[in-house]
């Protein structure tokens, strides 16, 4: 097994769209059983992800954005089979990850790795960080022992850590450095896809910038694909090529970056953009939030019949409460709304 | 106009396993009546300790307020008795925290807790206090306030709990409201609602707000003036527009530069350029030397910066004069201004 990189993206911009996506989710659904109210009652389910479709293309980044509880993490974890889906398919280079047997899945894991949000809890405090980064190589029997040690050294330099730090423990590093360790670990097996679940949310903005730049450099160098989860639209606009906006377990808008940010079509996307604090909106100038939404998201246990956003939507009409809007194409985007915004 | 609350050369130290560590190394701030002062900076720079000091709530041990004054309406409250401090707290100066769940009592209803806060400082009956609580819940935008007054904190969403906290904090019409990262635990659409509410309340009651945040965007929206903190010091202070449009300290401009651009203006088909970076990390407080704490990360560093700490005011200017204007603690910025 060699550690050679995948063909890298062009020097400027994201990789061009290939015919076949690297990963494609079709009708992906996840539900969690709720505790029974009585031994004789039917079991209730929380439908965390409800039939989502998306594609991650080689060398590109798909962003998943939405508020807390919208199902971002569950979607991503189901796509790499760290959470069990109950319906749908996830095709990775044409093969359904959800149907793989244990051995095939173990091999597949070399190609799909994960970086988690919390750089404090995602690293075992009792292991030296060199061993943490080497672990995926050991688990997946990649390379000879000696090569693995060299590979770990190489990974440390790749993510901007010094090889002499390999013998230290996680608590001896700052939050940003710990996230670099997580990134090195994810890169170890030379994967094609890395799921990044809020990788910079716990970091201060100065450290966040360092880590985001690093992730993009690595993407260019190795032709990586990212499935990138964030609730921060600025971060998403910086790093993502395509974006799926989730609300209560469903994708409500799906578009490439320039299309989405030039003209959000779903009222929820517009509300997210409107709500995000911006340096341009000054107290001194006085400002108003035209599209401000009211209230909180409804409970996933108690889904409305029509549009899930209807209760908070400034554009809602009677039809929205009765009839569920389907995700359908609209001028280069896909939008699930009866009354989408003008482009 | 005189400041409502003035912090002068405030120094706070903590006993830690590294010995005595200086968390606040002599900071000065002014809060004017009815304005919002934003305090911004990275994790660990001393924002919360500053807020706790204004409330007389520095935990002791391990904390020690070793020097400086906090003057509220002419009275140095660092010297106030515990009894006097309890009187001021909640009535004249009140505070809301990041996670409302930890500061609300889970076994009492929202209405009970607000009524309790009212009765602590005002001579009213239980019934009057309850009616006032319901009215406050209406003011902070809680639907069906009479029904909600009888709800427990766990029956509410995070946004609603923060509204209850705000209702409680303004129940005695304080002159200063300190908000320590009041929206960090909330979703962005709910954060926007809370920001709108805080501005409404300021307009309605004229309360001065000290808004603590690590988010420059929140500063832009909320603050009239800003203090930027780094490693236990205020390194730049001035009107929000001046700081955001014309930052003088290399740390402030670095912080602004590393925020990803958002929205239509940045919606190019081209990939966005790499973010500006501030190299390195904030040094641990117990390892700070004699010079500028930012020296090791600064693009403009020169010898003097490592030897000599830059003061916040240009030399020879009194605190009163500079605090109204734009003050910077940086040798390079000072040279530039002098030139
Ligand atoms: N293991 C689980 N058991 C039961 N419910 C779960 C489980 N994991 C997630 N959920 C529920 O599924 C829904 C989606 O959760 P998920 O963590 O995917 O959201 P998210 O968008 O990642 O949110 P956040 O921004 O807070 O991370 C939520 O209602 C959550 O409470
Ligand atoms: N009880 C304590 N014991 C020892 N050190 C403390 C204690 N409380 C705070 N400190 C130290 O004081 C410094 C300032 O802490 P403070 O909580 O004010 O930071 P902050 O700016 O509010 O950070 P954050 O953005 O993370 O809330 C930190 O270095 C912290 O480690
Ligand atoms: S379908 Fe109706 S309620 Fe839903 S987002 Fe569109 S306009 Fe709003
Ligand atoms: Mg999540
Ligand atoms: Mg704090």
Q: Which SS3 state, helix, strand or coil, does residue B123 take?
A: coil
Q: What are the Cα distances from residue A115, in Å, to A131, A341, B50, B315?
A: 17, 35, 35, 49
> Would you give the end-to-end CA distance of chain B in angstroms?
31
Q: 303-322 in A: which are within 8 Å (CB) of B?
A: 312
Q: Is A289 on the interface with B (CB under 8 A)?
A: yes
Q: Return all residues near B266 (Cβ < 8 A) that are at least 6 apart.
A: A237, A261, B272
Q: Return all residues near A10 (Cβ < 8 A) that are at least 6 apart.
A: A16
Instruction: Say whether pLDDT at A231 is over 80.
Output: yes
Q: Return all residues near B134 (Cβ < 8 A) that are at least 6 apart.
A: B111, B145, B146, B149
ipTM of the complex: 0.90
A256 near A243, Cβ under 8 Å? yes
How many percent of chain B have pLDDT more than 70?
95
Give B269-326 pLDDT, tens digit per residue: 888 999 999 998 888 888 888 899 999 999 999 999 999 999 887 544 555 555 568 8
Q: Is A206's CB within 8 Å of B258's CB?
A: yes
Least confident window among A47-51, A144-148, A303-307, A327-331: A144-148
Q: Is A292's CB within 8 Å of B196's CB?
A: yes
Nearest CA in chain B to A287: B221
A265 lines ligand 3 (CB under 6 A): no
CB atoms within 10 A of CB B281: 18
Q: Give the residue carrying structure tokens 């319901």.
A: B134
In this predicted model, which residue has the larger pLDDT, B324 or B232?
B232
So what's the pLDDT on residue B322? Answer: 54
Residues touching ligand 1 (Cβ under 6 Å) are: A 32, 46, 48, 66, 68-74, 231, 300
Provide the residues around ligand 5 (an ion) whose CB is within 5 A.
Answer: B 48
Instruction: Say whether pLDDT at A2 is over 50.
Output: no
Q: Where are the domains of chain B?
A: 102-173
For residues A8 and A183, give the distance between their C-alpha atoms in angstroms, rounded to a whole number. 18
Question: What would the mean pLDDT of B257-267 be, rounded to a whole number?
Answer: 88
Q: Is B271 on the interface with A (CB under 8 A)?
A: yes
Q: Which SS3 state, helix, strand or coil, does residue B5 take?
A: strand
Instruction: Say whether pLDDT at A179 is over 50.
Output: yes
Question: What would the mean pLDDT of A213-225 be, rounded to a whole number?
Answer: 96
Nearest-CA distance A20 → chain B (Å): 22
Site from A283, A284, A300, A308 to mutate, B interface, most B CB atoms within 10 angstroms:
A283
Q: Where are the domains of chain A?
A: 19-33+43-111+221-277+290-342
Q: Return all residues near A224 (Cβ < 8 A) that are at least 6 apart.
A: A6, A59, A191, A192, A193, A194, A218
Dig out the tokens for A71 from the structure: 């199902």
Instruction: Say whether pLDDT at A4 is over 60.
Output: no
Residues linked to residue B25 through DSSP beta bridges, in sequence order: B11
Least confident window among A149-158, A292-301, B111-120, B330-339: B330-339
Mutational test site, ligand 1, from A68, A71, A250, A297, max ligand atoms within 8 Å of CB: A71
For residues B273 and A180, give the distance between their C-alpha atoms in angstroms, rounded to a whole number. 21
Q: 163-202 in B: which are within 8 Å (CB) of A?
A: 187-193, 195-196, 199
Q: Return all residues near A290 (Cβ < 8 A) that are at least 6 apart.
A: A274
A270 near A230, Cβ under 8 Å? no
Instruction: Say whether pLDDT at B72 is over 80.
Output: yes
Instruction: Say whether pLDDT at A159 is over 90.
Output: yes
Question: What would the mean pLDDT of B4-11 be, rounded to a whole number?
Answer: 94
Question: Is the domain covering A19-33+43-111+221-277+290-342 a CATH 3.30.1360.30 domain?
Answer: no
Give A300-326 pLDDT, tens digit per residue: 888 889 999 999 999 999 999 999 999
Q: What are the Cα distances from residue B275, in Å, to A119, A299, B65?
A: 21, 37, 39
Dig out the tokens for B28 from the structure: 């000065």
3-state secondary structure B15-39: EECCEEEEEEEEEEEEECCCCEEEE
Strands B5-16 and A333-335, bridge-based pairing: unpaired
Dig out the tokens for B339 from the structure: 């030139």
So what's the pLDDT on residue A192? Answer: 97
Question: What would the mean pLDDT of A83-108 be, rounded to a whole number?
Answer: 96
For residues A166 and B239, give the distance between their C-alpha atoms in angstroms, rounded to a whole number. 46
Q: What is the mean pLDDT of chain A?
A: 90
* pLDDT range class, residue B265, cuts 50, 70, 90: confident
Give B163-214 pLDDT, tens digit per residue: 999 999 999 999 999 999 999 888 999 999 999 999 999 999 999 999 999 9
Question: Which residue in A183, A204, A206 sits closest to A195, CA to CA?
Answer: A183
So what's the pLDDT on residue A290? Answer: 60
For residues B25 and B234, give the distance between their C-alpha atoms in angstroms, rounded to a whole number. 9
Q: Calculate how far, in angstroms, residue B6's C-alpha sits from the geometric centre of ligand 2.
A: 21
Question: What would the mean pLDDT of B14-42 be, rounded to a whole number?
Answer: 93
Instruction: Say whether pLDDT at B339 is over 60.
Output: no
* pLDDT range class, residue A17, cuts 50, 70, 90: low
| Ligand with an atom nearest the CA of residue B180 | 5
For residues A233 and A246, give the distance between their C-alpha atoms in angstroms, rounded to a whole number. 12
So what's the pLDDT on residue A12? Answer: 44
| Ligand with an atom nearest the CA of residue A244 | 1
Nearest CA in chain B to A12: B271
For residues A182 and A114, give the distance between their C-alpha atoms in angstroms, rounded to a whole number. 9
Give B82-115 pLDDT, tens digit per residue: 999 999 998 999 999 887 777 889 999 999 999 9
Q: Calculate how far, in angstroms, residue B43's C-alpha sits from the geometric centre of ligand 5.
A: 7
So what's the pLDDT on residue B325? Answer: 82
Which of B221, B264, B267 has the CB atom closest to A281's CB atom?
B221
Q: Calculate how far, in angstroms, residue B52's C-alpha sits from the geometric centre of ligand 5.
A: 10
Q: Return all residues near A253 (Cβ < 8 A) that are at least 6 apart.
A: A243, A244, A245, A260, A264, A265, A266, A268, A269, A333, A334, A335, A336
For residues B176 and A187, give the distance between their C-alpha atoms in angstroms, rounded to a whole number. 50
A48 near A300, Cβ under 8 Å? yes
Strand B5-16: give its sheet, edge to edge. B19-31, B5-16, B63-72, B75-76
**Phi, psi angle pair for B237, to nearest 5°:** -150, 140
Residues linked to residue B313 through DSSP beta bridges, in sequence order: none
Q: Is A284's CB within 8 Å of B255's CB?
A: no
Least confident window among A36-50, A78-92, A222-236: A36-50
* pLDDT range class, residue A174, cuts 50, 70, 90: confident
């Amino acid at each position: 097994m060699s550690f050679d990189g995948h063909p890298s993206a062009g020097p400027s911009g994201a990789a061009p769209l290939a015919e076949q996506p690297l990963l494609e989710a079709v009708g992906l659904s996840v539900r969690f059983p709720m505790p029974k109210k009585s031994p004789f009652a039917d079991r209730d389910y929380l439908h965390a992800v409800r039939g989502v479709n998306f594609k991650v293309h080689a060398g590109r980044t798909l962003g998943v954005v939405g508020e807390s509880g919208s199902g971002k993490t569950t979607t991503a974890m189901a796509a790499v089979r760290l959470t069990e889906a109950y319906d749908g398919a996830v095709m990775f280079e044409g093969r359904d990850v959800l149907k793989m047997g244990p051995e095939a899945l173990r091999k597949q894991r070399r190609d799909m790795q994960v970086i988690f949000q919390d750089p404090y809890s995602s690293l075992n405090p009792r292991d030296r960080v060199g061993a943490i980064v080497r672990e995926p190589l050991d688990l997946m029997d990649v390379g000879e022992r000696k090569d693995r040690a060299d590979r770990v050294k190489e990974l440390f330099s790749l993510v901007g850590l010094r090889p002499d730090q390999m013998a230290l423990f996680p608590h001896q590093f700052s939050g940003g450095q710990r996230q670099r360790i997580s990134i090195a670990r994810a890169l170890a097996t030379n994967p094609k896809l890395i799921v990044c679940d809020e990788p910079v949310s716990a970091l201060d903005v100065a450290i966040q910038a360092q880590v985001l730049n690093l992730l993009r450099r690595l993407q260019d160098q190795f032709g990586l694909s990212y499935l990138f989860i964030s609730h921060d639209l600025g971060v998403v606009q910086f790093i993502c090529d395509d974006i799926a906006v989730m609300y209560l377990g469903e994708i409500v808008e799906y578009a490439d970056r320039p299309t989405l940010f030039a003209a959000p079509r779903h009222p929820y996307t517009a509300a997210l953009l409107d709500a995000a604090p911006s340096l341009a909106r000054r107290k001194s100038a006085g400002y108003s939030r035209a599209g401000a939404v009211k209230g909180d998201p409804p409970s996933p246990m108690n889904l409305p019949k029509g549009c899930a956003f209807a209760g908070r939507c400034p554009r809602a009409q009677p039809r929205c409460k009765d009839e569920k809007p389907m995700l359908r194409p609209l001028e280069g985007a896909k939008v699930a709304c009866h009354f989408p915004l003008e482009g | 106009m005189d400041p409502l609350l003035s912090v002068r050369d405030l120094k706070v130290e903590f006993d830690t396993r590294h010995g005595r560590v200086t968390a606040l190394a002599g900071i000065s701030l002014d809060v004017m009546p009815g304005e919002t002062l934003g305090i911004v900076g990275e994790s660990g720079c001393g924002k919360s300790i500053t807020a706790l000091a204004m409330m007389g709530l520095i935990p002791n041990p391990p904390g020690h307020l070793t020097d400086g004054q906090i003057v509220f309406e002419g009275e140095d409250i660092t010297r106030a008795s515990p009894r006097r401090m309890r009187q001021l707290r909640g009535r004249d100066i009140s505070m809301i925290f990041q996670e409302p769940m930890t500061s609300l009592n889970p076994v009492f209803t929202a209405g009970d807790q607000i009524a309790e806060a009212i009765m602590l400082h005002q001579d009213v009956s239980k019934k009057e206090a309850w009616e006032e609580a319901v009215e406050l819940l209406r003011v902070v935008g809680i639907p069906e306030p009479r029904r909600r007054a009888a709800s427990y904190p766990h029956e509410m969403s995070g946004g609603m709990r923060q509204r209850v906290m705000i209702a409680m904090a303004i129940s005695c019409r304080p002159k200063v409201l300190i908000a320590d990262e009041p929206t960090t635990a909330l979703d962005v659409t709910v954060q926007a609602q809370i920001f709108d509410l805080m501005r409404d309340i300021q307009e309605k009651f004229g309360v001065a707000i000290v808004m603590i945040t690590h988010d420059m965007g929140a500063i832009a929206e909320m603050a009239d003036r800003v203090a930027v903190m780094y490693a236990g010091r205020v390194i730049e202070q001035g009107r929000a527009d001046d700081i955001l449009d014309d930052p003088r300290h290399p740390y402030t401009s670095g912080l602004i530069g590393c925020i990803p651009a958002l929205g239509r203006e940045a919606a190019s088909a081209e990939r966005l350029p790499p973010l500006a970076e501030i190299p390195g990390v904030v040094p641990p407080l117990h390892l700070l030397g004699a010079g500028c704490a930012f020296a090791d990360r600064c693009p403009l560093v020169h010898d003097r910066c490592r030897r000599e700490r830059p003061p916040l005011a240009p030399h020879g200017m009194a605190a009163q004069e500079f605090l109204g204007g734009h003050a910077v603690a940086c040798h390079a910025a000072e040279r530039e201004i002098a030139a």
